[in-house]
Structure 1
Amino acid sequence: MNSFVKNSLPDRIEKLPCGSVIQHGPYNERIYLLKVGGDATGLLPFVLVAMAKGYGYSKIFVKVPTGFSKKFSRAGYVEEASIPGLYNGSNTGTFMGYYLKEQRASEREAATLDAILHLAISRSESPVTPLDAKRFIIRSCTESDIDQMAAIYRTVFPTYPFPIHDPAYLLDTMRSHVAYFGVESDGKLVALSSAEMDKSAQNVEMTDFATLLQWQRSSLSLHLLARMEKEMKQEGIKTAYTIARAMSPGINVTFSRLGYAYGGRLKNNTNISAQIESMNVWYKKLS
């Protein structure tokens, strides 16, 4: 899917006149509707299509309350995943796609992705081995960790949908709505993750998992996820979810083992590690 990748600069976040928030740019060659604005009408799906055509993008990806999804369906968007209780623990969230290029709508490795999903679901009952407390410490990251965090993300991900390689981005998000967590060994961070909170909707995206190569067989992501769940419950978050690389057995097994349910697959959705990949949605009610 490298043919989609035209620019190494990260996509930008923009607020539309109706109050809706989007992320878009040539990096993912798409528009991602992050939040529907309070003044949005049935014209929004068509506004996004016109905008995508103007920029030459190949996909529009939207996350909307189910009540709003009918407006997108009538405009030709198709449902790809859903999360019950995404909004305040009661309203379902629907993920929908609109494809402007036939190639973007076609998954060439669908059978492999299905096999990885089946593997993950089959591991849902697997026991979790306790963390080796003599070797590892899980803790919240602070501003003093940011340079080290950026270095880890640069090492693990050649490219990423958001500029997590940039210390300024990490600092800004840490100060606003993202809680970062790390695993420390011998005084150095060796694994990271983040909890991107939407407190108004009482949901959180569990994301940005990165483990240095030397430690990738230590199940550190599993223990980071468990720690994040505990912290998010204390924040009053009701629903946790992730958008995970469908081609990665490890991260899909991690969420399945901790009781997350499969919500669907987003075809050719995200530029990560220098290519456009399909992503699996997993979710869990925390309260």
Structure 2
Amino acid sequence: MTEDRIEQFHGATIQHGPESDRIYLMKTGTADLSELPGELKAYAKEKGYSKIIAKVPASAASRFIGLGYSKEASIPGFYNGRETAEFLCYYPDSSRRTAANSEEIQQNISLARRMHDKPLPELPEGVSLVTCTPDNAEEMSALYREVFPSYPFPIDNPDYIRETMQTHIVYFGALCNGRFVALSSAEMDEEHANVEMTDFATLPAWRGHSLAVHLLKTMETAMKKRGIRTAYTIARAASPGMNITFSRAGYTFGGTLVNNTNISGGIESMNIWYTSLAVSRES
């Protein structure tokens, strides 16, 4: 796998590169929000990228919309359970604005919504759920390589897994007979009390056993203990399974990021699902 790079840009944090052919504004940081929307457009033009996707507080959205950006998705409560995050897009190449499989995407969203809060199946016999450790990094990276031909972050690199374990990511796994059969991760933004539930991967032989949803519920419990208030995911829009997983676990659909991410060998649209961890959904 190759990957786009993360770097500082005028005080903000961005990911960019030819793999996903885009700029992703991950955090506005200390950037001047009156200048940042235009600076991103200029940088995209310089690099020849066909998309900008900017994740910004709702209070800053008008600065971007005034320069031609438009909303694709949102996550209420993203910033400390109070302020919404808006996902705003700009397409230097207008042909990227429309998904060729838009009808399939809408069908998957509808299917997932019908599964909202459905009862969860039992964990298969012989499977246990664990928090991963640095000693597991080699086996984890091998599983990710097997499942994903390409991925937006270098999870096929055991050094990356070890490094992120020490900073802001907690990895979880499903074990059977001492071997990992499924993995996931919780990428925490502790400053803003949110977490991305991501990096779900299940070996082909183990698909259909709802391991992802069991991992997700374990992740939620762990994140609540850390004081995280909002959980979300950015799931492949063309994958019915992951969209059903999050809807079934009680998550709400937040929008589609069109032709957004290079994953599994090509650029795909991604769906956002979110939930509040601060208040029980049963209350």
TM-score (norm. length: structure 1): 0.95
Counterpart secondary structure, 1:68: helix
Asked if the contact 2:33/2:60 (under 8 Å) is kept, the reply is no
**Cα distance in structure 1, aligned partners of 2:132 and 2:253:** 29
Task: Tell me which amino acid in the other structure corresponds to 1:47.
Answer: E
**Cα distance in structure 2, aligned partners of 1:189 and 1:275:** 26
Query: Which residue pairs with 1:3 in the alignment?
Result: none
**Cα distance in structure 2, aligned partners of 1:20 and 1:278:** 24
**Cα distance in structure 2, aligned partners of 1:75 and 1:168:** 40
Query: Which residue pairs with 2:4 in the alignment?
Result: 11
Following superposition, the deviation at residue 271 of structure 1 comes to 0.3
Counterpart secondary structure, 1:176: coil
Query: Which residue pairs with 1:213 in the alignment?
Result: 204
Following superposition, the deviation at residue 217 of structure 1 comes to 1.1
Task: Tell me which amino acid in the other structure corresponds to 1:277.
Answer: E
**Cα distance in structure 2, aligned partners of 1:284 and 1:126:** 15
Asked if the contact 2:118/2:249 (under 8 Å) is kept, the reply is no
Following superposition, the deviation at residue 9 of structure 1 comes to 2.9
Query: Which residue pairs with 2:238 in the alignment?
Result: 247
Task: Tell me which amino acid in the other structure corresponds to 2:109.
Answer: L
Correspondences of 1:30-179 after superposition (within 5 Å): 30-132=22-124, 134-179=125-170
Among 257, 260, 263, the residue aligned to 1:272: 263
- Asked if 1:259 is matched to 2:247, the reply is no
Task: Tell me which amino acid in the other structure corresponds to 1:27.
Answer: E
**Cα distance in structure 1, aligned partners of 2:226 and 2:246:** 20
Task: Tell me which amino acid in the other structure corresponds to 1:196.
Answer: E
Structure 2: unaligned runs, 5 residues or longer: 279-283
Task: Tell me which amino acid in the other structure corresponds to 1:12.
Answer: R
Task: Tell me which amino acid in the other structure corresponds to 1:65.
Answer: P
- Asked if 1:236 is matched to 2:230, the reply is no
| 1:42-77 deviation per Cα after TM superposition (whole angstroms, max 9, x unaligned) | 110000000000000000011000001110000111
RMSD over aligned CA atoms reads 0.9
**Cα distance in structure 2, aligned partners of 1:281 and 1:44:** 24
Structure 1: unaligned runs, 5 residues or longer: 1-7
Query: Which residue pairs with 1:20 in the alignment?
Result: 12
**Cα distance in structure 2, aligned partners of 1:125 and 1:149:** 30
Task: Tell me which amino acid in the other structure corresponds to 2:83.
Answer: N
**Cα distance in structure 1, aligned partners of 2:19 and 2:57:** 26
Counterpart secondary structure, 1:47: helix
- Asked if 1:29 is matched to 2:7, the reply is no
Equivalenced residues, count: 278
| 1:237-285 deviation per Cα after TM superposition (whole angstroms, max 9, x unaligned) | 0000000000000000000001000000000000001110000000000
Counterpart secondary structure, 2:166: helix
Following superposition, the deviation at residue 38 of structure 1 comes to 2.3
TM-score (norm. length: structure 2): 0.97
**Cα distance in structure 2, aligned partners of 1:82 and 1:10:** 25
